[in-house]
Amino acid sequence: METKEQNKQWHLVRNNNGEWISDDYAEFLTPLEVGILQVKAAQQGIQLDVQHGADGQLWCYKHQLEAIKIEPINKTVMKRELRIKKKALSSYLGRGLHSDKWDNAFGEDGKLGGLIEMVKNDNELVLQIRDDYFNVYYKGGNLLKVSSENSFQFDYNYYKCEIGLDTQDQRKKRIDKRRSVLESLKKTRDYKAFIADMKKLMDKYWKWLERVHNRILHEKDTQHALCISNTESTDYTIIDLEFQVSTRKDCIYHYEPSSIPRHPGIYVCEKSPRFDIIAVRNSDSRLCVIELKNGLDALVGKSGIGDHADSFEGSIGKNPLAELTFTKEMEKVVSDKKRLKLLSDDFYIDEKLPIEFIYAYAFKSEDENGKKAERYSFLREQEKACCMNYKVIYLNKGDFTLSDSNC
């Protein structure tokens, strides 16, 4: 039999600030209902704070809902708008291999089967699924874009290190060179030779960039190393890189005046923010958005830690429709990677758990005193940017494993 105290707890619900209130003041809603109400509230200039319960349930304060005018709760109109939202959401494809052109492309008899096997057996390569195509990455650079079993592409600018000045004639030579290489690949399907040649070319190109233009792509290198180092045998499995929030009108970034105030000068300019790393925590199958920071210079200003927190909170972190769309895309990515045997059959995303935002900070220092100073500086910047509520995973130099023990 429940005690009086236990019975009292049963009727409490937690808000975003961690406070417990009576559920008499709360109205539980579906993500689609929340999306429609957010639009109505914005149109009428009314504040609507969407709360995320501990179990992933969405709710709002009743007094805020009562202030929103919805033509005497016209349920017919509400149902029609819900149907429109559902239809629009179902028609949005985003990440994933959606077309039937992929049906026979893989496996032993498929024309792309050999390429997939190369990726699986080469720890310098990573495959990421995009919008009905996929990319094969080497050290963070796009080695090959595959749009179908007979459609390949890569950046002809890699040949800049071999074919000099950026004149019209030189560009034509680079394009012709690429065309010749890709035509040969389609005929021979010799993925092993192609990948070996492309690795040499890309290494040469990056050395040329550093020598001639003083450009070093540290963050891309680190992202790639993180992908290779974080699999189902570690704390996190990285499933996607450089994810851009849907440009659908009801998913793009929207600043909420009631959200946590940011440090002056830190704001979001992008309507559809881009996030560095998407991962699943293996202990609870929770979907996580991870922003990578290399050194202290990356913490402030545009694309600083406050900017990224705003990007998350103004899109998939607080907008239920954006969250639903994002989760749907990532579930499709997981499904496709399982189909390609890049993930195990029992790997999944627990869509009931709210998405978590995490920072990953790569130390520049190797000695303990230096790392201690960097950690202190990071925490200070977090405090300035009002984003102390987000976890930070620290990465030692040369160690790219995301571990909850390094927070």
Q: What is the pLDDT of residues 398-407, one digit of tens each?
A: 899 999 999 8
Dump pLDDT digits (tens) for 18-45.
788 888 888 888 777 777 787 778 777 7
| Residue 214 or residue 255, greater confidence | 214
**DSSP-assigned states of every residue in 154-180:** --GGGGGGTS-S-SHHHHHHHHHHHHH
The pLDDT, as a whole number, for residue 266 is 43
pLDDT (0 to 100) of residue 273:
80
Residue with more model confidence, 262 or 346: 346
83: confidence class by pLDDT, cuts 50, 70, 90: low
> What per-residue confidence (pLDDT) applies to 13?
81
Please give the pLDDT value at position 264: 39
Mean pLDDT on 194-222: 83
Is residue 331 over pLDDT 80?
yes
* Cα–Cα distance, 129 to 146 (Å, whole number): 10
* pLDDT attached to residue 300: 82
Specify the range with the lowest mean pLDDT, choosing from 95-99, 190-194, 266-270, 314-318: 266-270
Q: Could you count the other beta carbons within 10 Å of the beta carbon of residue 118?
A: 16
Tokens 């708008």 sit on residue? 81
Each residue's pLDDT tens digit, 274-313: 899 999 999 999 999 999 998 888 888 777 898 888 888 8
For residue 3, what pLDDT band results from cuts at 50, 70 and 90?
very low
Cβ distance 332 to 95 under 8 Å?
A: yes
Taking only the tens place, the pLDDT of each residue in 131-166 is: 999 999 998 899 999 999 999 999 988 888 887 667
pLDDT of residue 265: 38
Mean pLDDT score of the chain, rounded to an integer?
83
- At 134 the pLDDT is 97
pTM exceeding 0.95: no
Q: Has residue 50 got a pLDDT over 90?
A: no
404: tokens are 């909850």
Under the banding of pLDDT at 50, 70 and 90, the label for residue 79 is low
Contact 182, 198 (CB under 8 A): no
C-alpha separations of 164 from 171, 180, 207, 216 in Å: 9, 19, 14, 20
- The pLDDT of residue 36: 76
Question: Taking 60 as the threshold, does the pLDDT of residue 388 lie above it?
Answer: yes
